[in-house]
Amino acid sequence: MAISVHVALASGRSTTLEATEAMQVRELRAMAEERFKVGIRSLVTSKGAALLGYVCLSAAGVQHGETLTATVRSACLVKGSAALGVIRGDGSVVTWGESCDGGNSAAVQDQLKDVRQVVGNSSAFAAICGDGDVVAWGRKSEAGDCSAVQDQLQGVRKIVAANSAFAAIRRDGRVVTWGAPECGGDSSAVQGRLVDVADVVATNFAFAAIRTDGSVVTWGRPENGGECEPKHAKQLHDVQRIGSTALAFAAIRGDRSVVTWGKPEGGGDCSGVHGLKDVMQVYGADAAFAALLANGRVVTWGNAEKGGDSSSAQDELHDVQHIAACCESFAAIRADGRVVTWGNASRGGDSNRVQDQLRDIVEIDSTLYEFVALRADGAVVVWGEKADRYPVPERLREVCQVVASSSAFAALQADGSVVTWGLGPLGGDSSRVSEQLRDVRMLPEEPPIGDGVPDDIHQQLKRKAADVDVA
């Protein structure tokens, strides 16, 4: 049966599409993309439900004359340790950097369509496409090949990376892993317990899954968090979230207390830490944790020289909103947009040289030993070990997003272009794909389309915040 479906963007643009009840949601989405000339992430009902692409319109409950909200797909930079990439507005992916470590995705380009998420580890990438299929590329021995579990990688909503392994969370709450067994790529020993999983977190060599009942399941290298000692295991209940360093885990329970396990010298022992209560979030460097408390203060532990000792910065650590970490230091963003750093001074812990530039900071990322901060005005600030060797390009303008590999940077500008700098082989040199990085958006090529949908409906749609999961 033929039906008419109204599709509207938050901007107010709208159109009417002629469809059939047997048509799949993804087909309708493709029609809307062609009409609007923009990439569309999801079609959302008036009740805020994102429609799964493989479901036919009748099964999804879409009726004749119904209005759906289209959430526009934004271009997004992605990173691995040895390569960088971008999900373009049309859902395709471009990568550059160390070819064998994920920087060359030519072999899987025909599969990289309608990409929703890309995650990188030390030597590979994994992408969620369409309705939850997974594509992996890069070094095969380090999770760049998922063919052994391909039939299980369906309905995937999130992928998490360890050093040389990936864990995929499916919509049914099951978990699928692949990659180096010693890094958690083999979860067969706990597979029966990996049900109703809400989230997964990784150290370099292990994974921890939070189940919907607040319990935790771990696997991977025992000393790096893959195995929890009985005295800690019995405390792992009502867990709300987990943070990690390279070597240990820290779980926040419902009462906002913290339980740690893994290598003690890597943050796995918080028994002697004072003031560790009312914890809202935990952030990890390589061997130290920083806990953000409800009052905006910060408590740290782990390797003192690598961020575990924040005593020198405590007077400034107030009204903290977010904390970023590189290997050996931390950077906290306060409510006033200023940044406070501590840890290894030469590797990001000392930001005195750029403090006058660190204002109105909205985002911070890091290489191994440098931080890169994005200001509200689109300017970029870098500090750390090799900041002078790889200065910020003068041509950077109106930056919207900035990411870093282990030794290189990429910035997405408002005009849709991508600029890279840093160590060439690890992502600093993007000349091989420069033409594809001139404009990674999918821009409208025709004037706004009207379809007679009342203005008040458009206003309702504008106010609707459709923050949807992969669908």
Position 456 scores a pLDDT of: 32
Helix (H) or strand (E) holding 409: strand 408-413
- Please give the mean pLDDT across all residues of the chain: 91
pLDDT, tens digit (0-9, with 9 covering 90-100), for 390-429: 999 999 999 999 999 999 999 999 999 999 999 999 999 9
342, pLDDT greater than 70: yes
Q: What is the pTM of this model?
A: 0.85
Position 72 scores a pLDDT of: 86
pLDDT, tens digit (0-9, with 9 covering 90-100), for 183-208: 999 999 999 999 999 999 999 999 99
Task: Tell the residue number behind the tokens 């030390």, with chain if given.
Answer: 122
Q: Based on the number of CB atoms within 10 Å of its own CB, is 55 exposed (0-12), middle (13-18) or buried (19 or more)?
A: middle
- What is the residue-wise DSSP string for 349-396? T--GGGTTT--SEEEEEE-SSEEEEEETTS-EEEEETTTTTSPPPTT-
59, pLDDT greater than 90: no
pLDDT grade for 435, boundaries at 50, 70 and 90: very high
The architecture that CATH gives domain 2-72+444-463 is: Roll (3.10)
Among 163, 158, 146, residue whose Cα is nearest residue 198 = 158
Domain segments of the chain: what residues?
2-72+444-463
Position 230 scores a pLDDT of: 84
pLDDT, tens digit (0-9, with 9 covering 90-100), for 213-231: 999 999 999 999 999 888 7
* CB neighbour list of residue 465: distance below 8 Å, 6 or more residues apart: none
Position 442 scores a pLDDT of: 59
Token pair of 62, please? 């879409």
